[in-house]
Structures are given as C-alpha cells and as structure tokens.
A and B are shown apart, each in its own frame.
Chain A
Amino acid sequence: MNSTAIKEKKIKGSLKEKSQKLMGIGPEDAKLTKSYMAVAFIALLIGGALGLLQGLERAGLLQLPHWFNYYQVLTAHGVLLVLVLTAFFTIGYFYAGLSHTLGGLLPQVRKMAWIGFWMKVVGLVFAVVPIIQNKASVLYTFYPPMAASPYFYIGLALIVIGVWMCAFGAFINIAKWRKQNPGKHIPIFAFFATGVFVLLFFGSIGVTIEVLTLIAWSFGWKATVNVLLSRTLFWSFGHTLVNIWYMTAISAWYVIVPKIIGGRRFSDTLTRVVIILLVISNIPGGFHHQIVDPGMSQTLKFLHLFMSLSIGFPSLMTAFACVYVFEKTGRKLGGKGLFGWLKKLPWGDVRFLAPMIAMIAFIPAGAGGIAQTSNQLNQVVHNTLWVVGHFHLTVGTSVILTFFGISYWLIPYISKRVLTPRMNKVGIVQTIIWTLGMLFMSGAMHWVGLLGSPRRTSYTTYGNNATALGWDPYLIFLAVGGTLLIIGVLIQVFAVFHMMFFAPKGETEFPIAEAEEPEEKTPMWTDRWGLWIVIMLIVVSMGYVVPVVDLIVNAPPGSPPFITW
C-alpha cells in the first residue's frame, strides 16, 4: 500500500469514528447491546426472585416443596446471576463501548456476537431444563462425582463457546482498528475490553476441558472421573470470572465515573498498568478456593498465597486512583478543607451514586478477601456463610451496583432516549434499597459465618442442636435483606425496560473521560498485548504445571457418577 492510500484509509477511519461519536450508536450495534441487556435483566429478575425464596427458606420462614427444592433453586440462582447476568451484561456493555470508541462494529464481528448470543441462549435452555426437572441439582460449581444430566454440561459448554465467539469478535475489531490507526494507543475503553476478553478466553480453557470430560462421563462413555483435577480446573476459571466482573466494574470507575462527575480520569499509563497486572496475575488465584482440600501440600498452598495476594495489589492501586480523581474533581468544583471536596460530588446523580457505593463496598469486601485467602484464616470461614456474605458484597454490591449505575446512561444511549430527572430519582431510591438490603444480608452472613453456620444448606437445626439454634436470630436478617433486595430488583428491571422502550427520545452520550493534563505520553509498550499474553501464560504455567501434573500422575482411581438428590 502506498502512503497516500494509508493516509486515505486513516482519514476515512477517523471520519467514521467522529461521525459515530457525534451521531451516537448505529441501529444495528444498538440492537445487539439491547438484546444482551434484555437477557441480563430478565436473568436478574428470575434469579433475584429465586434468591428471595432461598433467603426465606434459610431463615426458616418458608418450606419449599420437594418438586422445587432448595438446592434446585440455589443451582438456578447461581447459574442465572453468576453466569447469565454477568456474562450478558459484560458483553453487551463492552460491545456498545467498542462500537462507540472504534467507530462502529465490523459487520463480521457483529455477526459473531449474534452467533455467540444465540449459542448462549440455546446453552442456557439446555442447562436450565435439567435444573427444572431436578436432574441437575449440583449447584453452579457442579463438583463431580455428583453427576448432572449430560445436557446440563452440554448447555454449559455451549455458553462458553458463545462467550468465545464474542471474545474473538472483540479481538478482530480491535486488531482492525490498530491496523487503521498505526502509532495510536488502543482507546482506554477498548483496552479494558481487551483485558476482559483475554481473561474470558484463557481463563475458561480449564473449565471447558473439565466440562467436556464430564459430558463423556455422564453419558457413561467414560467410567470414572478425577475428582480433584476437575475441581482444580473449575477454580482456574471460577476465580478468573470473579476478576472479569471486577475488571468490568473498574472500567467504569476509571473511565466513566470521572466524566459523570465532571473531572478527568487518572493517569492513562497507570490505568493501563493496572489492567495488565490484573490480566497477568489472575488465573492461578483460583487455588485459594482449595485451601482445605486434600491432595495438595502446604508448600504448594503457601506459594499460591502469593498468587492470590498479588491480585490484591492492582486493586489497591485502583483504590488510590478513585479517591485521587474524586478529590481532584471536588477541589476543582470549589471544595475546601480536608474533606470539603466530598460535598461537591454529585450524590444526587444515580450514575455516580450507584458506582460510588459500589466502590465503598469494595473496601470491606477487598479486606475480607485478603483475610480469607490467607490459609489459616480461610480455614476459619471456609464454606461458612461468611463466604456467601463476602461475594454478595463483592459481586452482589461492588460489581452489580456498578452495573446498575451504568444502566442509567447505557440503556438510554443504546435506545436513543434520555434519563429523566424522575427516573434518576427512581434510581437513587433503588440504589439505597439495594445498599440496605445487602447491608442486612451480607452483614448477617459474615457474622453468622464466623459463628460457624455453613453455606449451601437449607434450613436446619441439626436435630435441635443448641449451637445451631443460636444461629437462627441472625438468619432472619437473610430474609429481611432478601425482601429489600427483591424490591430493588423489581425497581431496577422496571427502570431498564422503561428506559429501553418508554423514556422520552433524545441523545445520550457515552461518557468517556479525558485523560489528566498535562499528561505524560503513555509509553507504547503498554499496547504490546502479545507480550502480556505470553507473560500471563508463563505465570499460569508456574502456578499450574506442577500441581496439575501431580494430580494426573499421582491420581487415585477415579469416581463413578453419583446422583444423591
């Protein structure tokens, strides 16, 4: 290609980008994200209702019938909220952002995202039908040798492949943009998307191997399965997924929230470094779910403590960045004194309030995470309700409230409508109800977990055991929290579909903040994704080669399938 052709292409590319930014999202890209959001919030509605049933049951206020038992409900609650809501929201959100920052999705990428969408929907149907039939009450962690119907695993495999389609679609779109924009940095939002999709793909390879094995085993083609290896492969994905949600949430904290409060975002270089660190250090973190497992030495578990704690480091960088931006913006807006800047922040704007509470929740949530990953401390709380309290604070509050906050501008943006002051008020009320609900529920779960009450157990007094009876007063708060949360769910789902179809028409911007000024030029090495992926794979090998080889070579005879429900 000669230089004029390149120049022409560049001009054409940048023109397309500019027009996209001025005109808003194209109808085809909008439809894609709308579909993803619709599925996400329907999953929230159903999964949330199931959550309420669990809270009431666990508090001893409600007895679920045998044809719709606690463990069935718990399996469905997990699959709908942990897999469906988060996956559909994350993909819908990043695809809208890629469309916005890269000048529209490429037609073939849009097609891939649609194929991915339908694969996930079909996969979901495959997974949910056996759950309803009580043939897959194995919870969303599906630890073998409990064996679900093979169709449950086939459904999960389809969902994963559907996610991969979207990951590769994103890679193709970003690669094309880079080709058209030589010498330019990947836009920050697309940089976040790259990190998330890299983790989604590489992080799910282990669990895919597990699920394929379980398909063969549950059909009876394979007599036994390696229980501990399966568990290890599951958690190589399980904890990565947690950090994928987290990275999706902080993309809004770094890029979106500063714009909403009228400020600039934190150092571009350091933001990119945080993303790179999260991608590199993440996958081996899953071992901290196996701290009290047999078959792994204390030395191995100690080495993995480093892997888990190192994920905490970029989060502590993020904590600094968020407060820095708030203070700087608050002072620019006239805030005086040590804390006067706090008053200048737009607390009455749901697009700020929801993610702000999400960030505040992450302070105890992150601290609890660091504590419970430290081997001996984990032993105190492992598989107690403490852990459930922990992830209702991290995922249920830090991540989900950020998603809710995003919905108040993203849904109007894709629907070519606006957020009215009234809907903003609805959002504020929703945020407060959600916060209170989680405070009750997660707080009580943490406390009663420390007292020893186990997770994933329907209401029981263990034959009127005095210790177990002592937990009952705390468990009532699960029902109180759950009731508040379902009100929050109903308001949120109403808000999303109202903004999608009924809010007044108008233009809403995709709020991306400018970098700080004077900004030191971001070094080009940050964009070397090939290098980061290689380093990530080296770290994954360091974490996994020794234990996985050990689990295979020194494996005990495997286990046949069991149906124990």
Chain B
Amino acid sequence: MKMNRYEEIWLMLSGGMLVIFMLITGYQTFALGMGPPSNKETIDPQKVDETAPFDNPGVFKTGENEYEVVMTLEVFNFNPGKIEIPTGSTVTFIMTSKDVVHGFQVVDTNLNAMVMPGHIQKATQTFDKPGEYLVLCNEYCGAGHQHMSTTITVK
C-alpha cells in the first residue's frame, strides 16, 4: 500500500491533532477535575419523595462558602427554585428526576447535565460573578418544557 508523501504528512498532522485533543481532555478530566457530570448512584424513581436526601429538597450550607443543593426535577419545575447564594460560593447540585428525563443547564456557566429517573446526578460550580443566572431544562420533557426554568441569584 503506497501512500503519497503529502498524504503521509497530512495524516500525521491529523493523527497528531486527535492525540492532542485526547491529551488535553484527559488532563482536564483527571488532573484538574473538570470532567463532565458522571455520578453513578441510583434511586428508585417511584420513591423519590421518601428517599433521603430527596425527601427534603433545599439549599444547605455545608462549609465556608460551600453549599449543597438537593434538587428534584419533575414536569415542569425545579424544586427548590429561585435559589440565592453569596458570591464566591461553591455549590454542589445533587439531582434526580421524579418522572421523565430532564436537563439541567445554567446559562453563562458550564453547568450542563442530564437528570434521569433512577439516577442521581451531581455537578459542582463556583459562582464568582454576582448576578441572576437562568436555569433551564434542556431535554424535551413534554408540553410545558419551554416553561421549565428557574433562577440562581448570586449576590
């Protein structure tokens, strides 16, 4: 199998580029902890309200500038909604769905996760800039999907 010299160069550059993508992604994931939300805990989707911690959804202070938000998603709202936290807080969202698949996207941040019935999803974000952040469901969930939103106010 004979290859054109230029093609060899082109393919070496192409392969090199793909390797660089892998290296950067791997470094960010495993060294900097920037990997995508991938929590593996499960829950009975028909017993969410009776199962801790989702029997008591809310915003909880867990340390200096650290918060935990225990959140349930269902058609067509986030519980709790209208979250308020101080600037500079690191917030861990612990979420599950009580019905169909929902999305959890906080605009102007990289928070973006699928929230599924039967699975507990976790994502962490530090809010350094004050302001009102739009939270929306980005997985089609039914007739009122376009209304499923809330806000996080950082002040």
Contact = CB atoms under 8 A, between A and B. Distances in A.
Interface of A: 69, 71, 137, 139, 143, 145-146, 226-228, 231, 267, 269-270, 273, 290-298, 301-302, 305-306, 309-310, 312-313, 316-317, 320, 324, 370, 374-376, 378-380, 382-384, 451-452, 454-460, 462-463, 465-468, 520, 523, 554-560, 562, 564-565
B118 A292 contact: no
* Closest 9 pairs (CB-CB, A-B): A564-B142, A556-B118, A556-B42, A452-B107, A460-B146, A316-B14, A294-B119, A298-B35, A383-B138
Interface in B33-76: 34-40, 42-46, 75
A294 B120 contact: yes
30 contacts: A143-B100, A145-B100, A146-B101, A227-B45, A228-B118, A269-B1, A294-B116, A295-B39, A296-B40, A298-B29, A301-B36, A302-B35, A370-B18, A374-B21, A375-B35, A375-B36, A383-B105, A383-B139, A451-B107, A452-B105, A452-B134, A454-B103, A454-B105, A456-B140, A457-B140, A458-B146, A557-B118, A558-B45, A559-B117, A564-B100
A454 B105 CA distance: 9
A376 B35 contact: yes
Nearest to B151: A465
A458 B142 CA distance: 11
Contacts of A463: 147, 149
A293 B149 CA distance: 20
Interface string B127-155: 00000101011111111011101010000
B35 A305 contact: no
B18 A313 contact: yes
Contacts of A301: 35-36, 38
B140 A139 contact: yes
Given A324-B4, A564-B99, A227 B116 contact: yes
A267 B6 CA distance: 14
Contacts of B24: 374
B143 A565 contact: yes
Given A292-B114, A295-B116, A523-B1, A375 B25 contact: yes
Contacts of B18: 309-310, 312-313, 370
A99 to B, nearest CB: 31
Interface string B16-36: 001001101110111000111
